[in-house]
Amino acid sequence: MAMLQLVIAFLLAIELAAGSRLLKSTSNPSICETIVQGYGYPCLQDTVTTEDGFVLGMQRIPHGINSNMDNSERDPVLLLHGLLQGAATFVMNTPSQSLAFILADQGYDVWLGNTRGSDASLGHISLSNQDKEFWNWSFEEHGKYDLLAMLQLIYNTTGSRSHFIGYSQGTTIGLVGLTQPKVTSLLSSVVLLNPVAFLKNITPPFTIALAHSYLEKLNDFLRLMMAGNNAYINRTRFPYYLQFLPQSTSTKNLALYTQMIRTGGFDWYDYGSPADNMKYYNQTTPPAIDFSTYPPNLPLLLVTGGEDGLADVPDVQRLLDSLVNCNVTHVFRSECGHADFVWGTNAHTDVYIDVANFLKSIPK
Protein backbone atom coordinates (compact mmCIF):
# COMPACT_ATOMS: atom_id res chain seq x y z
CA MET A 1 0.00 0.00 0.00
CA ALA A 2 2.80 2.42 0.91
CA MET A 3 4.36 1.53 -2.42
CA LEU A 4 1.17 2.38 -4.25
CA GLN A 5 0.93 5.75 -2.52
CA LEU A 6 4.50 6.46 -3.49
CA VAL A 7 3.70 5.64 -7.08
CA ILE A 8 0.65 7.90 -7.09
CA ALA A 9 2.71 10.75 -5.63
CA PHE A 10 5.23 10.09 -8.35
CA LEU A 11 2.55 10.16 -11.03
CA LEU A 12 1.37 13.54 -9.77
CA ALA A 13 4.94 14.79 -10.03
CA ILE A 14 4.97 13.66 -13.67
CA GLU A 15 1.81 15.64 -14.32
CA LEU A 16 3.46 18.75 -12.92
CA ALA A 17 6.57 18.25 -15.02
CA ALA A 18 4.62 18.00 -18.29
CA GLY A 19 6.28 19.55 -21.32
CA SER A 20 9.50 17.86 -22.30
CA ARG A 21 10.89 14.89 -24.16
CA LEU A 22 10.76 11.47 -22.58
CA LEU A 23 13.29 8.83 -23.65
CA LYS A 24 15.79 9.37 -26.41
CA SER A 25 16.37 6.48 -28.73
CA THR A 26 18.92 6.26 -31.46
CA SER A 27 17.49 3.58 -33.68
CA ASN A 28 17.44 3.80 -37.47
CA PRO A 29 14.00 5.14 -38.38
CA SER A 30 13.91 3.40 -41.75
CA ILE A 31 12.16 0.11 -41.08
CA CYS A 32 11.97 -0.33 -44.86
CA GLU A 33 15.71 -0.91 -44.90
CA THR A 34 16.18 -2.52 -41.50
CA ILE A 35 13.24 -4.94 -41.64
CA VAL A 36 10.73 -4.97 -44.47
CA GLN A 37 12.90 -5.21 -47.57
CA GLY A 38 15.01 -7.87 -45.89
CA TYR A 39 12.02 -10.21 -46.14
CA GLY A 40 11.61 -9.40 -49.84
CA TYR A 41 8.58 -7.13 -49.50
CA PRO A 42 8.23 -3.81 -51.33
CA CYS A 43 8.45 -0.80 -49.02
CA LEU A 44 7.95 2.88 -49.80
CA GLN A 45 8.52 5.89 -47.57
CA ASP A 46 6.78 9.22 -47.51
CA THR A 47 6.29 12.17 -45.20
CA VAL A 48 3.24 14.26 -44.40
CA THR A 49 2.94 17.56 -42.52
CA THR A 50 0.23 18.03 -39.89
CA GLU A 51 -1.90 21.19 -39.56
CA ASP A 52 0.25 22.17 -36.58
CA GLY A 53 3.53 21.72 -38.45
CA PHE A 54 4.86 18.28 -37.48
CA VAL A 55 6.53 16.28 -40.25
CA LEU A 56 5.57 12.62 -39.92
CA GLY A 57 7.28 9.70 -41.63
CA MET A 58 5.16 6.91 -43.07
CA GLN A 59 6.06 3.55 -44.55
CA ARG A 60 3.96 1.66 -47.05
CA ILE A 61 3.90 -1.98 -48.10
CA PRO A 62 1.84 -1.52 -51.27
CA HIS A 63 1.34 -5.20 -52.02
CA GLY A 64 2.29 -8.69 -50.90
CA ILE A 65 5.40 -10.68 -51.65
CA ASN A 66 3.90 -12.72 -54.48
CA SER A 67 1.98 -10.04 -56.34
CA ASN A 68 2.88 -7.04 -58.43
CA MET A 69 1.67 -3.49 -58.31
CA ASP A 70 -1.01 -4.31 -60.89
CA ASN A 71 -4.29 -2.55 -61.48
CA SER A 72 -6.30 -4.61 -59.06
CA GLU A 73 -7.84 -2.43 -56.40
CA ARG A 74 -6.26 -2.70 -52.98
CA ASP A 75 -8.03 -1.16 -50.02
CA PRO A 76 -5.64 0.90 -47.93
CA VAL A 77 -5.20 -0.02 -44.26
CA LEU A 78 -3.48 2.28 -41.79
CA LEU A 79 -1.73 0.58 -38.86
CA LEU A 80 -0.94 2.70 -35.79
CA HIS A 81 1.44 1.59 -33.05
CA GLY A 82 1.32 1.98 -29.26
CA LEU A 83 3.05 4.17 -26.65
CA LEU A 84 6.87 4.42 -26.83
CA GLN A 85 6.82 2.57 -30.14
CA GLY A 86 6.97 3.24 -33.88
CA ALA A 87 5.80 1.44 -36.99
CA ALA A 88 8.24 -1.42 -36.30
CA THR A 89 5.63 -2.82 -33.91
CA PHE A 90 3.77 -4.42 -36.82
CA VAL A 91 6.77 -6.01 -38.56
CA MET A 92 8.94 -7.28 -35.70
CA ASN A 93 7.97 -10.94 -35.92
CA THR A 94 8.29 -13.14 -39.01
CA PRO A 95 6.14 -12.30 -42.08
CA SER A 96 3.73 -15.14 -41.31
CA GLN A 97 3.29 -13.81 -37.74
CA SER A 98 3.24 -10.01 -38.29
CA LEU A 99 0.09 -8.06 -39.07
CA ALA A 100 1.55 -5.72 -41.72
CA PHE A 101 2.91 -8.56 -43.86
CA ILE A 102 -0.20 -10.70 -43.40
CA LEU A 103 -2.50 -7.91 -44.62
CA ALA A 104 -0.20 -7.08 -47.57
CA ASP A 105 -0.28 -10.75 -48.58
CA GLN A 106 -4.08 -10.72 -48.31
CA GLY A 107 -4.30 -7.96 -50.90
CA TYR A 108 -4.32 -4.78 -48.82
CA ASP A 109 -2.24 -1.66 -49.40
CA VAL A 110 -0.64 -1.39 -45.97
CA TRP A 111 0.38 2.01 -44.57
CA LEU A 112 2.34 2.33 -41.33
CA GLY A 113 2.00 5.50 -39.28
CA ASN A 114 4.55 6.97 -36.87
CA THR A 115 3.20 9.46 -34.34
CA ARG A 116 5.01 12.76 -33.71
CA GLY A 117 8.04 12.29 -31.48
CA SER A 118 8.76 8.72 -32.60
CA ASP A 119 11.98 7.98 -34.51
CA ALA A 120 10.55 8.55 -38.00
CA SER A 121 8.63 11.69 -37.00
CA LEU A 122 11.05 14.11 -35.35
CA GLY A 123 10.66 16.98 -37.84
CA HIS A 124 8.67 20.22 -37.72
CA ILE A 125 8.32 23.10 -40.17
CA SER A 126 9.60 25.68 -37.67
CA LEU A 127 10.58 24.00 -34.39
CA SER A 128 13.61 21.86 -33.63
CA ASN A 129 13.05 18.69 -31.66
CA GLN A 130 15.50 20.17 -29.15
CA ASP A 131 12.90 22.89 -28.38
CA LYS A 132 10.59 22.53 -25.43
CA GLU A 133 7.61 23.60 -27.55
CA PHE A 134 8.21 20.65 -29.88
CA TRP A 135 7.21 18.29 -27.05
CA ASN A 136 4.08 20.18 -25.99
CA TRP A 137 1.42 17.62 -26.92
CA SER A 138 -0.33 14.42 -25.85
CA PHE A 139 -2.24 11.63 -27.61
CA GLU A 140 -5.00 14.19 -28.17
CA GLU A 141 -2.84 15.91 -30.80
CA HIS A 142 -1.97 12.48 -32.23
CA GLY A 143 -5.72 11.93 -32.66
CA LYS A 144 -6.65 15.38 -33.95
CA TYR A 145 -3.67 16.15 -36.19
CA ASP A 146 -1.37 13.16 -36.79
CA LEU A 147 -4.13 10.72 -37.63
CA LEU A 148 -5.85 13.24 -39.90
CA ALA A 149 -2.65 13.99 -41.83
CA MET A 150 -1.90 10.26 -42.31
CA LEU A 151 -5.42 9.58 -43.60
CA GLN A 152 -5.25 12.59 -45.92
CA LEU A 153 -1.97 11.44 -47.42
CA ILE A 154 -3.41 7.97 -48.02
CA TYR A 155 -6.56 9.44 -49.56
CA ASN A 156 -4.61 11.79 -51.80
CA THR A 157 -2.31 8.98 -52.93
CA THR A 158 -4.85 6.19 -53.44
CA GLY A 159 -8.22 7.94 -53.82
CA SER A 160 -9.66 5.71 -51.08
CA ARG A 161 -10.73 6.01 -47.51
CA SER A 162 -8.76 3.76 -45.14
CA HIS A 163 -9.42 0.97 -42.76
CA PHE A 164 -7.75 1.94 -39.49
CA ILE A 165 -6.16 -0.56 -37.11
CA GLY A 166 -4.81 0.79 -33.83
CA TYR A 167 -2.95 -1.10 -31.14
CA SER A 168 -2.95 0.09 -27.50
CA GLN A 169 -2.23 3.86 -27.60
CA GLY A 170 -3.07 3.60 -31.32
CA THR A 171 -6.64 2.81 -30.18
CA THR A 172 -6.73 5.79 -27.81
CA ILE A 173 -5.65 7.94 -30.75
CA GLY A 174 -8.39 6.37 -32.87
CA LEU A 175 -10.98 7.05 -30.16
CA VAL A 176 -9.92 10.72 -30.08
CA GLY A 177 -9.94 10.84 -33.90
CA LEU A 178 -13.51 9.49 -34.00
CA THR A 179 -14.68 12.77 -32.40
CA GLN A 180 -13.33 14.65 -35.44
CA PRO A 181 -15.60 14.72 -38.52
CA LYS A 182 -12.61 15.36 -40.82
CA VAL A 183 -11.07 12.12 -39.56
CA THR A 184 -14.20 9.98 -39.72
CA SER A 185 -14.94 11.12 -43.28
CA LEU A 186 -11.68 9.38 -44.32
CA LEU A 187 -12.37 6.07 -42.58
CA SER A 188 -14.14 2.98 -43.89
CA SER A 189 -13.76 0.91 -40.72
CA VAL A 190 -11.93 0.92 -37.39
CA VAL A 191 -10.22 -1.96 -35.57
CA LEU A 192 -9.13 -1.46 -31.97
CA LEU A 193 -6.68 -4.06 -30.62
CA ASN A 194 -6.57 -3.71 -26.80
CA PRO A 195 -8.60 -0.49 -26.64
CA VAL A 196 -7.38 1.93 -23.98
CA ALA A 197 -9.98 4.55 -23.00
CA PHE A 198 -10.46 4.03 -19.28
CA LEU A 199 -7.67 3.23 -16.83
CA LYS A 200 -9.69 2.98 -13.65
CA ASN A 201 -8.86 -0.68 -13.08
CA ILE A 202 -5.34 -1.06 -14.39
CA THR A 203 -3.27 -3.26 -12.15
CA PRO A 204 -0.68 -1.84 -9.71
CA PRO A 205 2.29 -3.54 -11.43
CA PHE A 206 1.37 -1.68 -14.57
CA THR A 207 1.04 1.64 -12.77
CA ILE A 208 4.44 1.08 -11.21
CA ALA A 209 5.94 0.21 -14.58
CA LEU A 210 4.43 3.37 -16.07
CA ALA A 211 5.98 5.42 -13.30
CA HIS A 212 9.34 3.71 -13.77
CA SER A 213 9.27 4.16 -17.52
CA TYR A 214 9.46 7.85 -16.73
CA LEU A 215 12.80 7.06 -15.18
CA GLU A 216 13.86 5.70 -18.55
CA LYS A 217 14.65 2.22 -17.40
CA LEU A 218 14.61 -0.23 -20.25
CA ASN A 219 13.53 -3.21 -18.19
CA ASP A 220 10.57 -1.27 -16.91
CA PHE A 221 9.66 -0.31 -20.42
CA LEU A 222 9.46 -4.02 -21.20
CA ARG A 223 7.41 -4.62 -18.08
CA LEU A 224 5.04 -1.88 -19.22
CA MET A 225 4.60 -3.43 -22.64
CA MET A 226 4.01 -6.79 -21.00
CA ALA A 227 1.27 -5.60 -18.61
CA GLY A 228 -0.71 -8.65 -17.50
CA ASN A 229 0.12 -12.23 -18.46
CA ASN A 230 1.49 -12.64 -21.95
CA ALA A 231 1.77 -16.35 -22.48
CA TYR A 232 2.71 -16.21 -26.15
CA ILE A 233 5.66 -13.84 -26.16
CA ASN A 234 8.92 -15.28 -27.46
CA ARG A 235 11.34 -13.82 -24.95
CA THR A 236 14.40 -14.85 -26.95
CA ARG A 237 13.36 -12.10 -29.36
CA PHE A 238 13.64 -9.29 -26.78
CA PRO A 239 17.17 -8.22 -27.82
CA TYR A 240 15.90 -7.90 -31.38
CA TYR A 241 12.81 -5.89 -30.32
CA LEU A 242 15.04 -3.54 -28.35
CA GLN A 243 16.70 -2.42 -31.58
CA PHE A 244 13.42 -0.64 -32.38
CA LEU A 245 12.04 0.16 -28.94
CA PRO A 246 11.45 2.18 -26.90
CA GLN A 247 10.95 5.42 -28.86
CA SER A 248 10.35 8.93 -27.56
CA THR A 249 7.15 10.49 -26.36
CA SER A 250 6.42 13.67 -24.42
CA THR A 251 6.07 13.97 -20.67
CA LYS A 252 2.77 15.77 -21.36
CA ASN A 253 1.50 12.58 -22.95
CA LEU A 254 2.34 10.54 -19.85
CA ALA A 255 0.73 13.30 -17.79
CA LEU A 256 -2.52 12.69 -19.63
CA TYR A 257 -2.34 8.97 -18.79
CA THR A 258 -1.73 9.75 -15.15
CA GLN A 259 -4.72 12.11 -15.28
CA MET A 260 -6.78 9.16 -16.57
CA ILE A 261 -5.54 6.92 -13.76
CA ARG A 262 -6.22 9.60 -11.16
CA THR A 263 -9.74 10.52 -12.34
CA GLY A 264 -10.85 7.19 -13.82
CA GLY A 265 -12.35 9.13 -16.75
CA PHE A 266 -11.56 9.59 -20.45
CA ASP A 267 -11.46 13.38 -20.48
CA TRP A 268 -9.67 16.03 -22.49
CA TYR A 269 -6.40 17.34 -21.07
CA ASP A 270 -6.68 19.14 -17.76
CA TYR A 271 -4.78 22.45 -18.02
CA GLY A 272 -4.44 22.46 -14.26
CA SER A 273 -6.43 25.50 -13.17
CA PRO A 274 -10.11 26.43 -13.49
CA ALA A 275 -9.12 29.65 -15.31
CA ASP A 276 -6.99 27.83 -17.88
CA ASN A 277 -9.62 25.15 -18.45
CA MET A 278 -12.14 27.95 -18.93
CA LYS A 279 -9.92 29.40 -21.65
CA TYR A 280 -9.82 26.12 -23.59
CA TYR A 281 -13.16 24.51 -22.77
CA ASN A 282 -15.49 27.26 -21.52
CA GLN A 283 -15.84 25.31 -18.26
CA THR A 284 -13.63 24.93 -15.22
CA THR A 285 -12.95 21.21 -15.62
CA PRO A 286 -12.06 19.37 -18.84
CA PRO A 287 -15.04 17.81 -20.62
CA ALA A 288 -15.24 14.06 -21.22
CA ILE A 289 -14.58 12.65 -24.69
CA ASP A 290 -18.05 12.61 -26.23
CA PHE A 291 -18.78 9.16 -27.68
CA SER A 292 -22.23 10.29 -28.82
CA THR A 293 -20.61 12.20 -31.70
CA TYR A 294 -19.22 8.97 -33.22
CA PRO A 295 -20.74 8.03 -36.57
CA PRO A 296 -23.35 5.33 -35.84
CA ASN A 297 -22.81 3.28 -39.00
CA LEU A 298 -19.02 3.15 -39.13
CA PRO A 299 -18.06 -0.49 -38.49
CA LEU A 300 -15.91 -0.91 -35.37
CA LEU A 301 -14.15 -4.08 -34.26
CA LEU A 302 -12.81 -4.34 -30.72
CA VAL A 303 -10.51 -7.26 -29.97
CA THR A 304 -9.74 -7.58 -26.28
CA GLY A 305 -7.91 -10.01 -24.02
CA GLY A 306 -8.80 -11.66 -20.74
CA GLU A 307 -5.21 -11.43 -19.45
CA ASP A 308 -4.66 -7.79 -20.43
CA GLY A 309 -3.49 -5.75 -17.41
CA LEU A 310 -3.88 -2.46 -19.29
CA ALA A 311 -6.98 -2.73 -21.49
CA ASP A 312 -8.44 -4.76 -18.61
CA VAL A 313 -11.83 -6.45 -18.70
CA PRO A 314 -13.88 -3.98 -16.54
CA ASP A 315 -12.45 -0.91 -18.29
CA VAL A 316 -13.12 -2.43 -21.71
CA GLN A 317 -16.68 -3.20 -20.61
CA ARG A 318 -17.16 0.43 -19.71
CA LEU A 319 -15.95 1.43 -23.18
CA LEU A 320 -18.32 -1.07 -24.82
CA ASP A 321 -21.18 0.38 -22.75
CA SER A 322 -20.19 3.84 -23.98
CA LEU A 323 -20.34 2.71 -27.61
CA VAL A 324 -23.94 1.42 -27.51
CA ASN A 325 -25.00 3.64 -30.40
CA CYS A 326 -22.12 2.52 -32.62
CA ASN A 327 -21.84 -0.42 -35.00
CA VAL A 328 -19.60 -2.56 -32.78
CA THR A 329 -18.33 -6.11 -33.14
CA HIS A 330 -16.49 -7.43 -30.08
CA VAL A 331 -14.14 -10.40 -30.06
CA PHE A 332 -12.86 -11.56 -26.68
CA ARG A 333 -9.72 -13.70 -26.41
CA SER A 334 -9.66 -14.92 -22.83
CA GLU A 335 -6.08 -16.25 -23.00
CA CYS A 336 -4.39 -13.14 -24.48
CA GLY A 337 -2.36 -10.48 -22.67
CA HIS A 338 -1.56 -6.96 -23.84
CA ALA A 339 1.61 -7.68 -25.80
CA ASP A 340 0.31 -10.97 -27.23
CA PHE A 341 -1.83 -8.99 -29.67
CA VAL A 342 1.12 -7.75 -31.69
CA TRP A 343 4.14 -9.80 -30.63
CA GLY A 344 2.56 -13.07 -29.58
CA THR A 345 3.54 -16.09 -31.64
CA ASN A 346 -0.19 -16.91 -31.59
CA ALA A 347 -1.47 -13.52 -32.80
CA HIS A 348 -1.79 -14.62 -36.42
CA THR A 349 -4.14 -17.44 -35.46
CA ASP A 350 -5.89 -15.92 -32.41
CA VAL A 351 -6.31 -12.29 -33.45
CA TYR A 352 -5.47 -11.53 -37.07
CA ILE A 353 -7.96 -14.03 -38.49
CA ASP A 354 -10.76 -12.08 -36.77
CA VAL A 355 -9.31 -8.85 -38.12
CA ALA A 356 -9.13 -10.23 -41.67
CA ASN A 357 -12.70 -11.59 -41.52
CA PHE A 358 -13.95 -8.25 -40.27
CA LEU A 359 -12.19 -6.30 -43.03
CA LYS A 360 -13.64 -8.68 -45.63
CA SER A 361 -17.14 -8.06 -44.24
CA ILE A 362 -17.01 -4.30 -44.83
CA PRO A 363 -19.17 -3.29 -47.81
CA LYS A 364 -17.17 -1.40 -50.48
Ligand X SMILES: *[C@@H]1O[C@H](CO)[C@@H](O)[C@H](O)[C@H]1NC(C)=O
Could you confirm whether 330 is annotated as catalytic? no
Half-sphere exposure of 217 (CA within 13 A, CB side): 11
Cβ nearer to ligand X, comparing 45 with 327: 327
Among 14, 79, 149, 173, binds ligand X (CB under 6 A): 149
Stretch that binds ligand X, among 31-39, 109-117, 146-154, 171-179 (CB under 6 A): 146-154
The reply to whether 133 sits near ligand X by the rule CB under 6 A is: yes
Cβ nearer to ligand X, comparing 44 with 362: 362
Pick from 211, 93, 115, 230: which is nearest to 170 by CA?
Answer: 115
Among 129, 152, 158, 184, binds ligand X (CB under 6 A): 152
Helix (H, G, I), strand (E, B) or coil at 153: helix
Could you confirm whether 168 is annotated as catalytic? yes
Which string of x and - marks every residue 297-336 that binds ligand X (by CB under 6 A)? x-x---------------------------x-x-------
Q: Could you tell me where the DSSP H helices lie in the chain? A: 2-16, 31, 99-105, 139-141, 147-158, 169-177, 181-184, 204-213, 218-225, 238-241, 251-263, 274-281, 313-322, 340-343, 347-350, 352-361
What are the CB-based long-range contacts (under 8 Å, 24+) for 288-293? 289/175, 289/176, 289/179, 289/197, 290/179, 291/322, 291/323, 291/325, 291/326, 292/325, 293/178, 293/179
Q: How far is the CB of 215 from ligand X (least distance, A)?
A: 22
The reply to whether 153 sits near ligand X by the rule CB under 6 A is: yes
Q: How far is the CB of 48 from ligand X (least distance, A)?
A: 5
Among 161, 345, 354, 356, binds ligand X (CB under 6 A): 345
Among 48, 56, 209, 226, binds ligand X (CB under 6 A): 48
Give the footprint of ligand X on residues 93-122 (CB under 6 A).
none
Q: How far is the CB of 56 from ligand X (least distance, A)?
A: 10
Q: For residue 145, what is the DSSP state?
A: I
Half-sphere exposure of 346 (CA within 13 A, CB side): 13
Among 26, 282, 360, 364, binds ligand X (CB under 6 A): 282
Could you confirm whether 212 is annotated as catalytic? no
The reply to whether 284 sits near ligand X by the rule CB under 6 A is: no
Stretch that binds ligand X, among 165-173, 217-225, 317-325, 356-364 (CB under 6 A): 356-364
Cβ nearer to ligand X, comparing 159 with 314: 159
Half-sphere exposure of 283 (CA within 13 A, CB side): 8
CA distances from 167 to 8, 70, 116, 262, 337 (A): 26, 30, 16, 23, 13
The reply to whether 19 sits near ligand X by the rule CB under 6 A is: yes
Cβ nearer to ligand X, comparing 5 with 360: 360
CA–CA separation, 33 and 199 (whole Å):
37
- Residue of 124, 163, 338, 348 marked catalytic: 338
- Residue of 98, 121, 168, 213 marked catalytic: 168
CA–CA separation, 298 and 362 (whole Å):
10
User: Could you count the other beta carbons within 10 Å of the beta carbon of residue 88?
Assistant: 28
Interface residues with ligand X (CB under 6 A)? Answer: 19, 48, 132-133, 136, 149, 152-153, 156, 234, 236-237, 282, 297, 299, 327, 329, 345, 361-363
**Annotated catalytic sites, by residue?**
168, 308, 338
